[in-house]
Every structure is written in C-alpha cells, then in structure tokens.
A and B are shown apart, each in its own frame.
Chain A
Amino acid sequence: MIEGITIYEILTLTTILFFIGVYGFLTRRNLISILISVEMILNASVVNFVIINKYLYPDELQGVLFSIFIIAVAAAETALAVAIIINLYRQISSVEVKDTEVMKY
C-alpha cells in the first residue's frame, strides 16, 4: 500500500475518472471519442480491482489476475472497434454516430 494515502482517496479518484468517462460517452458524437471514453471507464475499474486487492486482501492475487483479463479484453475490443470504424468509414465516409445506419448487410 502507499504510505499516507488512504483507500478512500484512491476510490474517489477512480470514481471521478469513471464518471468523466460516462460523461464523454454520453456527450461525444464521434465513434473514436466514444472508444476513448470506454477505455477510460475500463481503466477506472481496473484500478479499483487492484486497489481493493492491495488494501484489503494483500495475500490474495485475484484482483490482479482479473485486471489482467480486463486489460486483455479491452485490447481485443479496441482492435475490433478500430476495424469496424475503418470499414464503416470506407463505406459512408464518416464516423459520426448519427450517420451510422448501415451496420448490417
């Protein structure tokens, strides 16, 4: 654990980060910006897992392992989303959410 920093302060930080991500997710009008916001939300949850593991159950490793899986899934999701965005841009020349009407054949 970090000397002089309580668990409350770090949980406050991750809560603020999470809701900034939610705010960006709801207000942005662009697929890539939405992707950025999702990354931020996932990262806040990863930090929560790790902090709770370290402060409350220092002898266990579950939080760390789960955060590794979360990071892997987030990377996969980003790669897939970028592929979809590029393909969509080829077809409709736009990445705005309101123009996205052709997600099926």
Chain B
Amino acid sequence: MIVFAIAAVSSRRMLRSVVYLLFVLVGIAGIFFLIDYNFLAAIQLTVYAGGIIVLIIFSVLLVHHIELKLEMAKPLRQIITAIACLIGMGTFLTTIYSHQFNVIENNVTTTTAQIGSKLLSYSEGGFILPFEVISVVLLAVMIGAIIIAKGKKLTNKSNN
C-alpha cells in the first residue's frame, strides 16, 4: 500500500497516479474489513473507490491528453520537501511510540444497525444534528457544483 501511495504521488502520468490511488483506497478498505467494520469498508469502497475515483478519472480525461507528461517541481525543492516530511514523520512516530496506549483486547462486532441507531438518536451522544447538517451540506455542494461547472453560459444569461 505504501509503495502504491508513493507511486501515486510520484508517477508522471496522470491516469496512472489515479489508478495507484485506487489501489491505496482499496487497501484501506481491506484494513476496515480486517478490524471488522464491514459498513465502513463498504462506504469506503462505494464512495471513494467508486465515486471519487470515477470523478477524478473523468476530470483527468476531460482536461488532459493521455500522453501528456506532467511537469514536476525542481529537484532541489523536492528534496527539501522530502526532508521536511521525514522530519515531521520522525516527530509523529517518536510521539506515537513514546505514548503508552492501554489497548483493550476485544472482539466486539459492530453491526450496521448499531451505527444507524447511534447516528439517528436524539439522546445524549446522538449524532442527529451533524447528520442533518451533512445532508444539507451535500445538497448545497451538489447545487454549487452544477452552477460552477455550468460557468460562463449561465452568468452571461443572468447578466443579460
């Protein structure tokens, strides 16, 4: 998975890097299956591997010629960025490894029904408000995306 992630950010052809990203996302869905959150894995597969990848591929095909190679940053800048990222990674890893997690051994299986009732419960700890807000956000984004993608033609009409 890490190999695919590195390939996705360093491949010079657009479509290939999108396909590498697809492999990364499927690998993450595999992690979700392993820790027994089947619902999240299904969401990951449908929303990310299905929806987002198709959207990105569409935009790549609309925008690029397939053979077009990408322009990369200067090597010096790449090296500086890589060093900064490695420093950050070292900081994170030392913090993680110096912290003592009290892991609870368990084999709890979370069903989709539990997730749903938690998501829609009005009581304390329920998530009904964020759920409604996220649905409004999705609606707004859909309308906004349509208007933005329509672009010039619509603005001309409204100006005239």
User: Contact residues of A with B, CB < 8 Å?
Assistant: 1-2, 6-8, 10-13, 15-24, 26-30, 32-33, 35-37, 39-40, 43, 46-47, 50-51, 54-59, 61-62, 64-65, 67-69, 71-80, 82-87, 89-91, 95-96
Contacts and interface: CB of A to CB of B under 8 A. Distances in A.
Given A7-B101, A20-B9, A61 B62 contact: no
Interface in B1-49: 1-2, 5-6, 8-10, 14, 17-18, 21, 24-25, 28, 31-32, 34-37, 39-40, 43-44, 47-48
Interface in B103-127: 103-108, 110, 114-115, 118-119, 125, 127
B82 to A, nearest CB: 6
B51 A75 contact: yes
Contacts of B84: 26
Contacts of B130: 65, 69
B48 A19 contact: no
A64 B2 contact: no
Contacts of B66: none
Interface of B: 1-2, 5-6, 8-10, 14, 17-18, 21, 24-25, 28, 31-32, 34-37, 39-40, 43-44, 47-48, 51-52, 55-56, 58-60, 62-64, 70-73, 77-78, 81-82, 84-86, 88-89, 92-93, 96-97, 101-108, 110, 114-115, 118-119, 125, 127, 130, 134, 137-138, 141-142, 144-146, 148-149, 151-152
Nearest to A59: B108
Q: Most A CB atoms within 10 A — which of B102, B103, B130?
A: B103
Q: Most A CB atoms within 10 A — which of B9, B48, B96?
A: B9
Nearest to B86: A19
Closest 5 CB pairs of A and B: A24-B9, A76-B141, A83-B145, A58-B106, A83-B149
Contacts of B115: 61, 64-65, 68
A39 B151 contact: no
A82 B58 contact: yes
Contacts of A68: 40, 43, 115, 119
B60 to A, nearest CB: 6
A80 B144 contact: yes
Nearest to A98: B71
A23 B148 contact: no
Nearest to A11: B96
